[in-house]
Structure 1
Amino acid sequence: MGEEDNLKGEEAFKNSYVPKWRNQITIRSVVTSFILSIVFNFIVCKLNFSTGIIPSLNVAAGLLGFAVIKSYTALLNKCRLLKQPFTRQENTVIQTCIVASSGIAFSSGTGSYLLAMSPYISAEVGGGGDTPINTKVLSLGWMIGFLFAVSFVGLFSIMPLRKLMVLKYKLTYPSGTATAHLLNSLHTPKGAKLAKKQVAMLFKSFLGSFSFGFFQWFFNGGDGCGFSSFPTFGLQAFDQKFYFDFSCTYVGVGMICPYIINISLLLGSILSWGIMWPLIEQKKGDWYSAELSAKSLSGIQGYRVFGAIAMMLGDGLYHCISMLLQVAYNLKVQYSKKNEISSSVNPEGDDYQTSELDFDEARRVEYFLKDQIPNWVACTGYVVLATVSIVTVSHIFPPLKWYHVLVAYLIAPVLAFCNAYGCGLTDWSLASNYGKIAIIIFSSWVGLPNGGILAGLVSCGVMMSIVSTASDLMQDFKTGYLTLASPRSMFLSQVIGTAMGCIMSPLIFWFFYKAYTLGDPLGSYPAPYAQVYRGIALLGAKGFSSLPKHCLTLAIILFCTSVLINIIHDLLIRYETKYKIHRYIPNPMALAIPFYLGGYFAIDMCIGSLILFIWEKKNKQKSKDFAPALASGLICGDSLWSVPAAILSLAGAQSPICMKFLSASVNVKVDKFLSGK
């Protein structure tokens, strides 16, 4: 083991070359980011259209970026053509660019508010909101224009506060910090050796997952055919959506998500599809018309969708209020400390007292302050881009007037700061929760006859884009601070990644949109959040009259339950320390998701958790080193199989075999019918 292996922190990189900010963004880094961004956009889009559960992909992005560039530089080095060595700063730029691009696939709303505008989802939801003024025919042109108009504003909203957040308040930003530690580790000799093994594991699981997806395709020759319709626990359980659908994607997601999230999903499935919905279905003809289709929001589907909405709104509202109070309290504490002692750093200027800091922190502060981004650039950028966005958005969506968008942009920086600050404390981004609240406010403001549903959905997009990109940028500044990457290169790579995402996300969405029926509850890609978000907009524009009988009572109970669970969880964290019971309190948002979809994906994710649990029991260190790589490979392989599968679907190619399961009695009838008896 070399001497450098034993060094920790910046001591290991004391003699390493730190390139200037212009040299941190190279042609090879941009090309690598572009290629990997396509991969990650496909992954996020597929997850959006399947269940809407998207794990952190930062580790996979950093690891794959390292693997690609390291292979490229090793080849050039053998040919003696290598001019610039591969540094952790360049690796940080690649990871930032990829995550920024794939982040647009989430904040663009292609699986939620944007898809919810379509006439198809409008017809599925119904409720009187399927009028032309409340829908928008989807097309690539206006989607790309809309994303370019709203996605860059958030980058400028809280950029002047970067020194305050990172240096003065020393917010941890757990994901950004973990990513930085990964990148720092990869670029030490010991880390590079481990990285090779991790990359090998990732590619093995990728090939296995991709091959298994290809194998499954041969048995999908019809509706309800194939491994994805395997009645693992019997046909009756299958009818209530309890089965294992052999999805490598969600087995991998389950290995990344915390245990309590997966258990919460399974518990939510049992409570809803195992108990609540069967009981409500017995009231058919009394609580709702027996003639309604299974997809109608005036029937059983209404209880499913609005039940999920109630729990999500309860969880979101609680966390928003809790986060605002937490931010206010922490700011008060910071202000009190400032009056008592002088801080070792002064974020209001460039005269930083680094003599009292340890070597690591002094070095990081030095490089973080080296390439300043003037505050006037951020303020001017926000005003100019917000003005362009106000004109563009109100032109694309007439129901949302210019003054509506202006109000959103006046409120957004405050919410962006709260979200970025809260994310630094807890690693929990509430962008989608702020978006849901915006839907209710603006849809009720505009009103149903004036296009309130469409206005609410658009306002959600505006709010989510600002709040989400602001917290993502601050995470990246924290990563850059810990890897000595320049703030300018971080900001520019975020801009490049955002631009990539604004083009890639709609194109990949369009690919899926043409190949499959997105938003069909019974189809391959139910896109659950599309109906949920439109349901929230309908609720805001029309009020409670849109709910079926006793649905409001159920919604209130579930809303209060969600808030109560959060209160109990937070009280246990604060006052109970011995047994750590709070770890076993279910997550309300995770409880709510299966209300609409069922339990099949929760079973997939629990199997992922079981694999990880057994692995940890056998060899904890090995599972810690290789589980993220294995999970990332499973997700990448299965998600990328959707590309050739969609191409085959567009070309009209049909799977040669239909593997279907029937009960014994039905099978006898089929045999008699086929034999002509």
Structure 2
Amino acid sequence: MEEEGKLKGEEAFIKTRVPPWTNQITLRSVVTSFVLSVVFIFIVCKLNFTTGIIPSLNVAAGLLGFAVIKSYTTLLSKCGLLKQPFTRQENTVIQTFVVASSGIAFSSGTGSYLIGMSPYIASQVDEGNTPINTKTLSLGWMFGFLFVVSFVGLFSIVPLRKLMILKYKLTYPSGTATALLVNSLHTPKGAKLAKKQVALLFKSFCGSFTFAFFQWFFTAGDGCGFSTFPTFGLKAYSKRFYFDFSSTYVGVGMICPYLVNVSLLLGAIISWGILWPWIEHKKGIWYSAELSASSLSGIQGYRVFTAIAMMLGDGLYHCIIMLIRVACNLTSQYLMAKGSSSFVMPEDVDQNSSDDNFDTQRRTEYFLKDEIPSWVALTGFVVLAVISIITVSHIFPQLKWYHVLIAYLIAPVLAFCNAYGCGLTDWSLASNYGKVAIIIFSSWVGLAKGGIIAGLASCGVMMSIVSTASDLMQDFKTGYLTLASPRSMFMSQVLGTATGCFVSPLIFWFFHNAYTIGDPQGSYPAPYGEVYRGVALIGAKGFSYLPKHCLQLAIVFFVLAVFINIVRDLLEHYETKYRIYRFVPNPMALAIPFYLGGYFAIDMCIGSLILFLWEKKNKQKSKDYAPALASGLICGDSLWSVPAAILSLAGANPPICMKFLSAAVNKKVDTFLSGGS
């Protein structure tokens, strides 16, 4: 047993039988995957409705799937009832299912383009708040829309799996990391570590859930509770600088890179600490003092459109660079294959005894064993695209059938570029392609004919294809490294996508009925709803309605985002001694606090600080256990949303309001109360 634990790569599993693909997808794996999918969709929805920052949940999905099935199979084995052992292929199927369903929770747009269509968000934006440019949210059309657009991307990329995985040998860092985790869990040493990780995850989950429950008792009104604690004083609190005791974002901060968290804090300081106070002094000069705080013609316009400008600058830069990089890599691959007769494709590996070649031979054999015929993929794409064209144009009359057709002609090319780029850099640009689609189609249709709804709907079509295509290729890479069949990967992706299309709207509706989604001052501001609608408004109407100097400010931040990216790429390429590029901020992370403030950035920086101190004390332990601790914090705090929402729907209110007042205001309150008595 100990000798087996020391073997590397596929040698550790040489005596383990690989089940056929039909046995890799089992009833127990589907049931487990569905339960975990509901949990993860709740988490993604809550993150969507708060800040929109979604960390990678692959590790948590793989670890929880292992823990649940392993516990179940161990119990059956002791009772003598175990018919099929738990394999790494089945573990991969569970992870793929869960990640696919939670991916739909993000790309479904319930926290971005779909919520941006609602009359509530439109009323905040003011401009374009007309019946033809709004759509009342309902479960019926949301189910229909998601089911017809979410599967097309799966069929668009299937024929290219051998090209991406075997010929170009793309790394897909997240897919590779997940495969290494799954392979490790199914060795004796990995299973022992997994038990400790699961124990820590359970403890942090219980602690996070209990603390969220405790906080609920003090939230009997607006502005009440621990989440309004003025950590740095009331003045800083008014500028949205405070620690809001969110276990979720402390956990997210432990998963996200240090640079992202520091960039968020820097963006909050630049915007809420310097820029917005300066612009507020221009009230009555640059914009009317009579406007509401949420009007895009006032201070909110500067907040939203500078953030949009930075996001678009960062997104367009990465899109262009990615397209150039894909073209250069494809060209070099072609020239290498054409110009060198000795160039060896991965399919034609040498027959020698090295570990790498043994692993490659074995993995390639199983990867090619269960073919998915190209005609199936092509037929599926065409049939689903036709159904989608008819259905989408019916759900959104503003978006004509020929608009959707053009989107489906462009989308496969972008899906390939995104999947290829994701394989090189682990960076999915689905949301960026979606924003580009918004601008193109909203300007094509025009404001008077419903350009805002047309742009947002086209974003959903584009994002669904591009996102699911890259996710599927990540899963193919994971399956390649764990010997999971491409057919089982594809089927689990289909099942996960179907689950996401069904459960995501239900959970959104649950939140929608219990809370006010999209309220900038509420618990669930859903910031991307207003951002995506703002992008559509720019495309449909142009810049004429923006407040004074807002356009110039937006251009400055657009150029700044591009400049920061150029500087970082140049430093990364030419400066290797001190690696200064590691300290260049991330423009997308800089932009997010422009709208929301710095409270969640402080949470995430505290998560980074915990991880940093842990690494200083014991780097290996932090590497082994930090993801489990972070996942437990995220799961516990996020899942408290379920009983909290049920209590809210049932009319059960918290008994206490804990609110913080300045000394002067408190004195006035005491005087009023004593006078009233």
Is this a same-fold pair by TM over 0.5?
Answer: yes
Partner of 2:123: 123
The answer to whether 1:24 aligns with 2:20 is no
1:12-91 correspondence to structure 2 within 5 Å: 12-91=12-91
- CA distance in 1 between counterparts of 2:312 and 2:172 reads 25
Q: How far is 1:634 from its partner?
A: 0.1
Q: Secondary structure at the match of 2:640?
A: helix
Task: Give distance in 2, aligned partners of 1:344 and 1:195.
Answer: 39
Say yes or no: does 1:200 pair with 2:199.
yes
Contact 2:179 2:481 in 1 (8 A): yes
Q: Please say if residues 89 and 483 of structure 1, whose CA atoms lie closer than 8 Å, have aligned partners that are also in contact.
A: yes
Aligned mates of 2:476, 2:76 — CA distance in 1: 31
Provide the rounded CA distance (Å) in 1 between the counterparts of 2:346 and 2:650. Answer: 62
Aligned-pair distance for 1:292? 0.6
Where do 5+ consecutive residues of structure 1 fail to align?
none
Whole-Å separation in 1 of the counterparts to 2:670 and 2:372: 75
Partner residue in 2 for 1:672: 671
Query: Which residue pairs with 2:251 in the alignment?
Result: 252
User: How many Å apart are 1:377 and its aligned residue?
Assistant: 0.7
C-alpha displacement of 1:343 = 4.6
How far is 1:336 from its partner?
1.3
**2:400 is the counterpart of 1:404:** no
Query: For residue 77 of structure 1, what is the amino acid of its counterpart?
Result: S
Aligned to 1:183: 182
Q: What residue identity is the alignment partner of 2:29? A: S
The aligned residue for residue 97 of structure 1 is 97
Alignment of 1:600-615 (within 5 A): 600-615=599-614
Residue 24 of structure 1 contacts residue 90 of structure 1 at CA under 8 Å; is this kept in 2? Answer: yes
Q: What do the CA deviations read for 1:468-491 (whole angstroms, capped 9, x no partner)?
A: 000000000000000000000000
Q: How does 1:551-590 map to 2 (within 5 A)?
A: 551-590=550-589
- Asked whether 1:493 is paired with 2:489, we answer no
* Deviation of 1:345 (Å): 3.6
The one-letter code matched in structure 2 to 1:355 is: Q
Distance 1:461 1:355 in 2: 47
What does 1:91-490 correspond to in 2, within 5 Å? 91-127=91-127, 129-339=128-338, 340-345=340-345, 352=348, 355=351, 358-490=357-489
8 Å Cα contact 2:301-2:550 kept in structure 1: yes
For residues 393-440 of structure 1, give each alpha carbon's deviation from its aligned partner in whole angstroms, at most 9, with x where no partner exists: 000000000000000000000000000000000000000000000000
Provide TM-score, normalisation by structure 1: 0.99
Q: Which residue of 2 aligns with 1:658?
A: 657
CA drift at 1:5 = 1.2
Aligned to 2:7: 7
Moved over 2 A (4+): 341-347, 352-357
Q: Distance in 2 between matches of 1:662 and 1:654?
A: 22
SS, match of residue 649 in structure 1: helix
Give the Cα separation in 1 of the matches to 2:18 and 2:552.
61
Q: Determine if contact 1:150/1:462 at 8 Å carries over to the other structure.
A: yes
The 2-side partners of 1:367 and 1:579 are apart by: 43
Give yes or no for contact 2:407–2:462 (8 Å, CA) kept in 1: yes
Equivalent position amino acid for 2:625 in 1: F
For 1:209 and 1:344, the matched residues in 2 are separated by 53
1:620 and 2:619 aligned:
yes
For 1:149 and 1:86, the matched residues in 2 are separated by 34
Q: Is the 8 A contact 2:169 2:346 kept in 1?
A: no
Letter in 2 for 1:106: F
1:636-676 superposed Cα distances (whole Å, 9 cap, x missing partner): 00000000001111111111000000000001000000000
- Could you tell me how far apart the structure 2 residues matched to 1:90 and 1:237 are? 51
Aligned-partner Cα distance in 2 for 1:483–1:287: 60
Kindly tell me the number of residue pairs found equivalent between the two proteins: 672
- Please tell me the residue identity of whatever aligns with 1:223: D
The 1-side partners of 2:322 and 2:205 are apart by 38
Aligned residue identity for 2:557 = L
Q: 1:409 to 1:591 in 2, by over 3 A?
A: same
TM-score (normalizing by structure 2): 0.99
- Identity across matched positions, percent: 80
Q: How far does residue 353 in structure 1 lie from its aligned partner after superposition?
A: 5.1
What CA distance in whole angstroms lies between the structure 2 residues aligned with 1:75 and 1:341?
A: 56
CA contact (8 A) 1:539 1:546 kept: no
SS in 2 for 1:154: helix
Name stretches of at least 5 consecutive residues in structure 2 with no aligned partner: none
| Cα deviation, residue 126, structure 1 | 1.1
CA-CA distance at 1:344 after TM superposition = 3.6
Distance 2:631 2:371 in 1: 35
Answer whether contact 2:32 2:65 (CA < 8 A) is retained: yes
What is the SS of the residue equivalent to 2:198? helix
Answer whether contact 1:573 1:580 (CA < 8 A) is retained. yes
For the 8 Å contact 2:349–2:357, the answer to whether it is kept is no
